[in-house]
A and B are shown apart, each in its own frame.
Chain A
Amino acid sequence: METARPSLTMGPVYYLWDSAKWRDFHFRIADEAPFERVVIGETVCSKRQHFIEPHIAEVIERLENAGKTVLLSTLALVTLERESRLIRELARDSEYMVEANDLSALGLLNGKAHSVGPLINVYNSATARLLAGRGACRICLPPELPFSSVKRVIAETPGVDFEVFAFGRMPLAISARCAHARSKGKIKDNCQFVCGDDPDGLPVKTLDRQSFLALNGVQTISHTCQALLGELPDLAACGVSAIRISPQDCDMVAVASLYSAALDGAIGADEAVDKLRMLYPAAPLSNGFHHAREGAAWVARARDTAQAG
């Protein structure tokens, strides 16, 4: 069977970057990166909203002028009335497709074409089909899903475009408590936006100095960087419609170009992995979840070596 080449989606920036950096980053992505669609909007902490708000319109315009489809991301954890209001307005008024990251957004988007983000628990096709029946036309599957599940969900859910989280530190947990603020002697309510000091996350090491996790405000992310490169042919073959690239504080235009070349078969998997390590040296690569192992694991595949070159 001829398989379509998956396109590239850039996920929302999970980190607090200062306004100008956030804007300029998206401008460059618009102008230079081979993404078909770009998801923007604060996803992790509603307190950060005002940092990007002044620039959202110009970023959308720049992305659209470059021919990219824009989606707006909703918050992952919604507890305050102010946060609920934000999502109600977005669900009701947005002229751009909205990507749901919590249950309230799923509820409010019923009957409207929408996207489902990787922070929603879609573990099986019964769930995917239910969401599709309510208007979900794109679903980015959770990073925790093994390939056996990815394959199955896609095969059993026709009519939905599926994405797989293929680059970036993985979102592993979210809390009402801000461990990031607390690590700097603050609490969430008077955090003074200390998470802005760590645009790629704040490392959490074990007492034996093993790099383990990283903090991003109320979100806990992996120390390792998910890297599905050798796995791209399998993902394409099982019908994955787009590869999701989650922004880190590195040259994301180069990362996107690398994934694009790997999807085209213009670069072998081993070489792509070597190049990715140079582009994002801050974190070791992992693909364990995909291979039904611990998420931090790196599974090298002999087949890739055989096919390379």
Chain B
Amino acid sequence: MELICPAGTPSAFREAVDAGADAVYCGFRDETNARNFPGLNFSRDELREAIAYARSKGTQTFVALNTFMRAGDEEIWYRAAADAVALGADALILADFGLMAHVAEHYADQRLHVSVQASASNVDAINFLVDAFNAKRVVLPRTLTIADIARIAPKIRCEIEVFVFGGLCVMAEGRCSLSSYATGKSPNMNGVCSPASHVRYRKEADELVSELGAYTINRFATGEAAGYPTLCKGRFDIADERGYAFEDPVSLDVMGEIDALTAAGVSALKIEGRQRGKAYVAEVVSTLKKALSAKADDRPALLAHLRGLSEGQKTTSGAYEKRWR
């Protein structure tokens, strides 16, 4: 089982490699990837050095080019693909069919992974991408249960990678324009969700109000931990009910299900968190690496102390568990 780890900076990249990542994924410092946040990501030179370092330790590097090409500016994405190939990326993680077609045509030997943003959620969808673009691996959307994964794995003609730890999209990834509805900036087009540039906190009486664009996303009483106003993790009113309409401020943790995921046919486990600092990356990667080789009985103790690092310190198994629906 491979462990695929996030790196938003060269230093986090080194930490992930040193902590035992089988592969590290990262992106260029622009809108070609879905974590286009200020201060994150890699220049061409930084990626060259990172790949060289990873190579020296036997670690692979995956480059995420997983936003959708803006009409008229396709050259930005094509150049990013060309550079990632030239720099020696072990795989490109892609979401846009147009970009997949370009890479499959121009760099036939380049390993192509289907990003979670492509939303390939079933056998026919995945095999379409295998046949059309020679995709070697699919990162499954977080819409499937472990039983669903076990059912489709034998019928698809590529490897399966799944998210096991970190932030959790409630919506099918790559098919959500909630953020741009409120701010004009979306994961698909700009590589950002609920961008900090549109976030405002204001004090009102004894409450802290968090806003995204023109909309209130949450209100926190004094002493309540105030989370970041990610749109789908906000508190809203539906009829007379007030609460987290889509999802509580929780993060994903299905490391307790490693054996079930292995049995289901998963070949790689992915950690979310390119926006996280190097200390977080080091801690999570080394712990999960240990958990992978530990006996099932020893895992809970190993994983328990990671909970403190999770968003809101509460975790969920998300869609992997049927009742989440």
Contact = CB atoms under 8 A, between A and B. Distances in A.
Interface of A: 76-81, 83-84, 87-88, 102-108, 110, 119, 121, 123-131, 134, 142-144, 148-149, 152-153, 156, 170, 172-179, 183, 187-189, 202-210, 212-213, 215, 220, 222, 288-289, 292-297
Contacts of B45: none
Given A78-B121, A172-B177, A206-B216, A125 B172 contact: no
25 contacts: A79-B143, A103-B120, A105-B124, A106-B125, A107-B129, A121-B188, A124-B71, A124-B74, A126-B96, A127-B68, A134-B132, A144-B186, A148-B71, A152-B72, A172-B176, A174-B176, A175-B143, A177-B319, A207-B236, A213-B181, A215-B245, A293-B184, A294-B180, A294-B184, A297-B184
A179 B99 CA distance: 33
Nearest to A119: B175
B88 to A, nearest CB: 25
Given A187-B323, A207-B218, A207-B237, A213 B188 contact: no
B241 interface: yes
Contacts of B174: 121
Interface centre among A79, A83, A129, A295 (most CB of B within 10 A): A79
A294 B181 contact: yes
Give the secondary structure class of A's interface: mixed
A48 to B, nearest CB: 15
A142 B21 CA distance: 38
Interface in B274-303: none
Contacts of A123: 68-71, 96, 98, 188-189
Interface string B262-282: 000000000000000000000
Contacts of B319: 176-177
A175 B172 contact: yes
B143 A296 contact: no
Contacts of A152: 71-72
Interface string B197-227: 0000000000001000111111100000000
B304 interface: no
Contacts of A148: 71-72
A292 B184 contact: yes
B82 interface: no
B128 interface: yes
A110 to B, nearest CB: 8
Contacts of B182: 212, 294-296
Interface string B136-175: 0000001110001001000000000000000000111011
A177 B169 CA distance: 11
Contacts of A119: 175
Contacts of B143: 77, 79, 175-176
Contact of B69 (A126, A143, A215, A295): A126
B238 interface: yes
Contacts, number: 228
A144 B172 contact: no
Contact of A130 (B101, B176, B217): B101
B239 interface: yes
B79 interface: no
Contacts of B131: 107
A164 to B, nearest CB: 14
B19 interface: no
A78 B172 CA distance: 11
A78 B125 contact: yes
Nearest to A176: B143
Nearest to B236: A204
Given A148-B71, A289-B180, A294-B184, A124 B216 contact: no
Contact of A106 (B121, B128, B238, B241): B128
Nearest to B72: A152
A108 B72 contact: no
B128 A177 contact: no
Contact of B180 (A78, A108, A174, A295): A295
Nearest to B247: A177
Contact of B237 (A130, A175, A205, A288): A205
A170 B189 contact: no
A126 B325 CA distance: 35
A119 B188 CA distance: 13
Nearest to B119: A103
B110 interface: no
B181 A215 contact: no
A7 to B, nearest CB: 24
A193 B215 CA distance: 30
B230 interface: no
B310 interface: no
Contacts of A80: 148
Contacts of A213: 178, 181, 236
A109 B68 CA distance: 23
Given A77-B172, A123-B71, A207 B245 contact: no
B258 to A, nearest CB: 21
Nearest to B183: A294
Nearest to A143: B177
Given A149-B71, A176-B325, A183-B239, 4 more contacts: A125-B71, A143-B177, A177-B247, A295-B184
Given A104-B122, A220-B171, A296-B182, A173 B71 contact: no
A210 B234 CA distance: 14
A44 to B, nearest CB: 12
Contacts of A129: 98
B132 to A, nearest CB: 8
Contact of A103 (B68, B125, B144, B186): B125
Nearest to A294: B184
Nearest to A128: B98
